[in-house]
A = this chain, B = another copy of it.
Amino acid sequence: MPHMSFEPDVLQGFVQRYLDTVAGGTADDVAALYAEDATLEDPVGGGEVHIGRQAIAGFYKGMDGDTEITTELLMFRAGGHEAAFVFAITVGGAMRIEPIEVMTFDGDGKITSMKAYWGPQNITPL
């Protein structure tokens, strides 16, 4: 069985592109980074898993609009075709959240799964 793997720098590039798109793109732009049959769980344990690019675009629709979003990659770890990372996201200058996320990628660099670990205790009012 072939063992698919990316160099750490390449995986970090995928993650940075994702964070840049979350900050500067539309929901459809972000969804386009996902594979057609990808899954998204954010937050993990929230009881809902979004399956497929259309459902994923729906999840990100809340980002569209006038609210300014910034993102910053704080810590990055690579593993095969997976990545784990810590990042900060600020929403409308009102709050900052620092999740840990885990992503898997297919051979084309599309996100096949995303899981975001965070809770109310990881939100800081600004």
Stretch at the interface among A30-38, A63-71, A117-125: A117-125
**Is the beta-carbon distance between A119 and B45 smaller than 8 angstroms?**
no
Q: Interface residue tally of chain A, by bracket?
A: 20 to 34
How many copies make up the complex? 2
**Is the beta-carbon distance between B119 and A80 smaller than 8 angstroms?**
no
**Is the beta-carbon distance between B80 and A45 smaller than 8 angstroms?**
yes
**Is the beta-carbon distance between B85 and A100 smaller than 8 angstroms?**
yes
Known: A75-B86, A86-B75, A121-B8. A44 touches B80 (CB 8 A): yes
Residues of A within 8 A of B (CB): 3, 5, 8, 43-47, 75, 77-86, 99-100, 102, 115, 117-119, 121-122
